[in-house]
Amino acid sequence: MRFNTSLVHGGVKRNDKNGLTQVPVYQVSAFGHESAGELEKIFANRAAGYTYTRLGNPTVEAFEARITTLEKGIASVACASGMAALTNAFLNILKSGDEIVASASLYGGSIDLFRDFEAFGIRTVYVENNNWDAFDAAINERTRLVFAETIGNPRLDVTDIRKLSELAHGRGLPLIIDNTAATAYLVRPIELGADIVVNSSSKYINGSSNAISGVLTDGGKFRWDYEKYPGLKEYEKFGPYTYTAKLRNGLFRNTGACLAPQNAFLNQIGLETLGLRMQRECDNAAALAGWLQSSYPELTVNYPGLADSPCHEIAREQFHDRYGAILTLRTGSKESAFRLIDALKLPYILSNIGDVRTLAIHPASTISLHSTKEQQENAGVFDDLIRISVGIEDVEDLQEDFEQALKQIKF
Ligand X SMILES: *Cc1c(COP(=O)(O)O)cnc(C)c1O
Q: Select the residue interacting with ligand X from 149, 160, 272, 384 (CB under 6 A).
A: 149
Give the one residue of 62, 83, 89, 257 binding ligand X; rule: CB under 6 A. 83
Question: Which of 130, 202, 331, 376 touches ligand X (CB under 6 A)?
Answer: 202
- Does 165 contact ligand X by CB under 6 A? no
Is residue 194 at the binding interface for ligand X, with CB under 6 A as the rule? Answer: no
Shortest distance, CB of residue 331 to ligand X, whole angstroms?
A: 22
* DSSP β-bridge partners for residue 8: none
Task: Closer to ligand X by CB, 149 or 272: give it.
Answer: 149
Cα separation, 225 vs 410, whole angstroms: 59
> Between residues 115 and 171, which has the closer beta carbon with respect to ligand X?
115
Considering the complex, state which of residue 299 and residue 315 has its C-beta at the smaller distance from ligand X.
Answer: 315
Residue 190 in contact with ligand X, rule: CB under 6 A: no
Least distance (Å) from ligand X to the CB of residue 302?
Answer: 16
With CB under 6 A as the contact rule, which of the stretches 37-45, 56-64, 174-182, 282-290 interacts with ligand X? 174-182
Q: Return the residue nearest ligand X (CB atom).
A: 82
Using the contact rule CB under 6 A, the part of the chain among 79-87, 91-99, 263-271, 313-321 near ligand X is 79-87
Q: What is the 3-state secondary structure (H, E, C) of the chain?
A: CCHHHHHHHCCCCCCCCCCCCCCCCCCCCECCCCCHHHHHHHHCCCCCCCCECCCCCHHHHHHHHHHHHHHCCCEEEEECCHHHHHHHHHHCCCCCCCEEEEECCCCHHHHHHHHHHHHHCCEEEEECCCCHHHHHHHCCCCEEEEEEECECCCCCCECCHHHHHHHHHHCCCCEEEECCCCHHHHCCHHHHCCCEEEECCCCCCCCCCCCCCEEEEECCCCCCCCCCCHHHHHHHHHHHHHHHHHHHHCHHHHHCCECCHHHHHHHHHHHHCHHHHHHHHHHHHHHHHHHHHHHCCCCEEECCCCCCCCCHHHHHHHHCCCCCCEEEEECCCHHHHHHHHHHCCCCEECCCCCCCCCEEECHHHCCCCCCCHHHHHHCCCCCCEEEEECCCCCHHHHHHHHHHHHHHCCC
Does residue number 109 form part of the binding site for ligand X (CB under 6 A)?
Answer: yes
- Does 304 bind ligand X (CB under 6 A)? Our answer is no
Residue 57 vs 88, nearer CB to ligand X: 88
107 near ligand X, rule: CB under 6 A: yes
The Cα 148–Cα 312 span in angstroms is: 18
CB nearer to ligand X: give 336 or 371: 371
Is residue 383 within 8 Å of residue 334, measured between CB atoms? yes
Stretch that binds ligand X, among 199-207, 230-238, 243-251, 403-411 (CB under 6 A): 199-207
Residue number, 149 or 281, with CB nearest to ligand X: 149
Largest CA distance in the chain: 74
Single out the segment in contact with ligand X by CB under 6 A; choices: 10-18, 29-37, 65-73, 102-110.
102-110
- Between CA 374 and CA 382 the distance in angstroms is 10
- Is residue 82 a contact point for ligand X (CB under 6 A)? yes
Using CB under 6 A as the binding rule, whether residue 258 contacts ligand X is answered as no
Among positions 363-392, residues that touch ligand X (CB under 6 A) are none
Q: How far is the CB of 197 from ligand X (least distance, A)?
A: 12
214 binds ligand X (CB under 6 A): yes
**Among residues 105, 129, 153, 268, the one that binds ligand X under rule CB under 6 A:** 153
Interface with ligand X (CB under 6 A), residue total: 17
Q: Does residue 271 bind ligand X (CB under 6 A)?
A: no
Residues that bind ligand X (CB under 6 A): 81-83, 107, 109-110, 149, 153, 178, 180-181, 200, 202-203, 212, 214, 353
